């Protein structure tokens, strides 16, 4: 049976490919992006099955209005996909205040407000799915991406809490965590002005790798989107979905290291309890 999807950030990358995949199989898509003209060719091809809404997710009133309009005109909506986002590229000391504010407003606050806007509609219709596109960078960290990681770690914590709050209403979440994937992500990076002091640091090593194209991109965008769709339609979807060998290996290593560090501190942790708790 055909489904209806609401997707942010559909101009390129995973959002665009997801939109194309869903339309090609007969689903309906409400696609949002800042420049609707980018989807004119798809609109001409798929007609009423593709509804395009202009939206900048940093504009919370406009975001709420777009979500309300989508559910009123095209509901019920089966799956909402929070995909809009980009990377701020620079060491923490290098990035500017305005860059930080825009990164957090887009990746973190925009995703939070989208989810908050969608939840009342999903409750009223008796349930639904929300897919939050994160990254392996929601559980690990590369130098030179500190602010990007702040938003991804932040949205994962938010979703993990909200998933528990709304489970009684039949609302499920999937946090998608792709590793470095062959999309246009690097083209959309917001670059900080490098400081000479960081020239011989891990931050500069990552910057050089990305700028030269030598940073390994093992993930396949088409396979990533197919896995996202399958998870979104699963009877019992996973809360987190790591995609690509890089994501699997890096997240596994990070979790093992964190657990080992925690276990090494066990006696210190237990000793901090009150006497009554022992």
Residues with catalytic roles:
134, 148, 152
Contact 139, 177 (CB under 8 A): yes
Alpha helices (H) in the chain, listed in sequence order: 13-24, 40-46, 60-74, 97-103, 110-125, 146-166, 202-212, 221-232, 245-264, 266-271
Helix (H, G, I), strand (E, B), or coil: what is residue 254? Answer: helix
- Between CA 187 and CA 118 the distance in angstroms is 30
* Residue with tokens 């969608």, as numbered in its chain: 118
Strand partners, 133: 176
Q: Exposed, middle or buried: residue 40 (CB in 10 Å: 0-12, 13-18, 19+)?
A: exposed
Quote the Cα angle for 152-98-86, to 5°: 35
Quote the Cα angle for 159-107-243, to 5°: 65
């Amino acid at each position: 049976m055909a489904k209806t999807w609401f997707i942010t950030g559909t101009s390129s990358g995973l959002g665009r490919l997801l939109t194309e995949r869903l339309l090609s199989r007969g689903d309906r898509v409400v696609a949002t992006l800042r420049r609707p003209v980018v989807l004119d060719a798809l609109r001409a091809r798929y007609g009423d099955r593709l509804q395009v809404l202009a939206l900048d997710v940093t504009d919370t009133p406009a975001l709420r209005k777009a979500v309300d309009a989508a559910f009123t005109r095209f509901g019920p909506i089966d799956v909402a996909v929070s995909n809009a986002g980009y990377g701020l590229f620079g060491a923490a000391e290098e990035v500017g205040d305005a860059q930080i504010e825009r990164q957090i407003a887009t990746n973190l606050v925009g995703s939070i407000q989208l989810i908050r806007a969608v939840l009342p509609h999903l409750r009223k219709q008796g349930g639904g799915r929300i897919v939050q596109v994160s990254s392996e960078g929601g559980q690990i960290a590369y130098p030179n991406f500190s602010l990007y990681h702040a938003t991804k770690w932040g949205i994962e914590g938010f979703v993990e809490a909200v998933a528990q709050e709304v489970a009684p209403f039949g609302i499920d979440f999937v946090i998608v965590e792709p590793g470095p994937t062959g999309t246009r992500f690097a083209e959309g990076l917001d670059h900080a002005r490098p400081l000479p002091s960081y020239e011989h640091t891990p931050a500069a090593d990552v910057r050089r790798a990305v700028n030269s194209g030598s940073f390994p991109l093992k993930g396949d965008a088409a396979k990533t989107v197919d896995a996202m769709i399958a998870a979104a339609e699963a009877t019992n979807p996973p809360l987190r979905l790591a995609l690509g060998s890089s994501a699997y290996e890096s997240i596994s290593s990070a979790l093992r290291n964190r657990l080992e560090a925690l276990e090494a501190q066990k006696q210190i942790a237990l000793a901090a309890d009150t006497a009554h708790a022992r």
